[in-house]
Amino acid sequence: MGEVEVLESGFFSTIQDEGRLGFSKFGVPRSGAMDKTSFRLANALLGNQENDACIEWVFQAPVLKFSAPTSISITGAFTECFLNGVPVKMYSRIFVKKGDVFSSNFCKNKKYGYVGIRNGFLSDVRLGSRSFFKSITSSPILSKDDEMAYQKDEKSVMSFSSISDASYFDDHDKLMVYKGAEFDQLTSVQKEVLLNSEFTISDQANRMAIQLIEKLKNTLPSMLTSPVLPGTLQLTPSGKLIVLMRDCQTTGGYPRVLQLSNKAIDIIAQKRRGEKCKFQLVEE
C-alpha cells in the first residue's frame, strides 16, 4: 500500500467518484464529480473502474508526494503539470516513482480538473461513496498534510498511451436540455425568451448551484416542495434562474422549467464567471 501526502492543498480540492446514489429520500445529495466526462477520462487512461475515486480541484491542483510507485493521469481544465519540476502531459498515463512530487500551475481554461491514480484513491467510503461532502465525510476538502492511501503498482511502466484533448476546448455555448416539470406552465413569450436568449454565468457558482445573471419574468403560481436533480433549472419568484449542481438539495420549491442533459451539466460546470450559454431544447 502507498500513501499520497498533500504538500499544498490547491483550491477546493476534494475526493470525488460517481456519487452517492439511492439516498435522496433521506435528503442526501448525490455529490460526485462536477465534470463527469473528464473524471471518467482520468480513470479510463489508467484502466480503472469507472467509479474509482479521483481528486477534483478548482483552478489549481494540490501538490502531491507519492510514497510508492503507481500511475496517475490529469484531465479537465487545461494547466501546465510537472513531476519533480519536469513538465508532463495532460490526458496521458504518467508513471510515478517513490518520492515523486506532482504540481501544477493555475489553469488556463475552464475550472475543474482531475488527478486520477491507478485503482483509485482509497479514502473512506460513506453511504456507498468516497465523494467528499460536509457532514457526511470527515472533511469537506483536502488540507495540507492530509494523507490518502492507494494501491502501489510495482508493475507500472512508462506508458505513451494518451488521448487527444482537442475536443475539450471546442465552443460549447449550447446546452442540450429537456422540458422541466413546470415548463408547460410558462407562457409562449417566456418559453421564447428562455430558449432564444443568451445567459451569463454569475459569480454565484459552486458545487451546489450556478446562478445566471439574466432574469426571466416569473408569473407562475407558488408550488409545493418537489424532487429536484443535478441539472434542474429553477425559476425563483424574483425571476432568477438557478442551475442545480452535484451537491444540490434533493427537494425544492421553485418551478423546474428545464432539465440539463448529463453532458450539459459537465459543460456548464466548467464555465467561468462571465461566460455565456444558451439552452437548446431536445425534442422528445
Host domain of residue 39: 2-168
Average pLDDT score over residue span 4-30:
95
> What is the pLDDT, as a whole number, of residue 163?
67
Q: In the listed set 147, 168, 189, which residue is the last one of a domain according to the structure?
A: 168
pTM of this structure:
0.93
| Shared-domain flag, residues 200 and 90 | no
| Shared-domain flag, residues 54 and 151 | yes
| Shared-domain flag, residues 155 and 34 | yes
| Shared-domain flag, residues 191 and 109 | no
| Shared-domain flag, residues 216 and 246 | yes
| Shared-domain flag, residues 57 and 95 | yes
Q: In the listed set 168, 202, 232, which residue is the last one of a domain according to the structure?
A: 168
Cell of 227: 424532487
pLDDT beyond 90 at 101: yes
Note the Cα 88 to chain centre separation in Å.
23
**Mean of all residue pLDDT scores within the chain:** 93
> What is the pLDDT, as a whole number, of residue 154?
74
Per-residue burial over 212-247, b = 16 or more CB atoms within 10 Å of its CB, e = otherwise: beeebebebeeeeeeebebbbbbbbeeebbbbbbbb
Average pLDDT score over residue span 212-230:
94
pLDDT beyond 90 at 240: yes
**Count of domains in the chain?**
2
